[in-house]
Structure 1
């Protein structure tokens, strides 16, 4: 299967925007919330996960984590697809 490229941006309201920048479909896009050290923030919930994106398609996904953790430093969101 041809490779594709995903980009992710997120805002202070905990919403990530995932975009398929490639010229082929991105199957089974999976998101992960990570702290500044690259470790996954667990447990975390997502409005959507394991979805498909057509070329140049974007999707907004809201995420939450337990309030007791506060806002982890260096918070990032990563996205992977079967062919990314």
Structure 2
């Protein structure tokens, strides 16, 4: 297929990059909450123990994939040099 027939929505990759960063921040927030509850009351939610690393991992994966696609376009994401 030619380039003109294959339409790529580059905005969706930028949205995925933003969503990945948001997932990382939320995962860190859940982890801080779990660590704070462990420090204060001596116990943490078992779900938080698994959710925080999973959210950070998913966010990193989404961000990496979006950066790869944006690098294919020749656009640097967030002022970076395009390296992953």
Structure 2 length normalisation: TM-score? 0.23
Decide which structure has greater strand share.
Answer: 1
Compare relative contact order (CA 8 Å, sep 6+) and give the higher one, 1 or 2.
1
The structure with the larger Rg is 2
Decide which structure has greater helix share.
Answer: 2
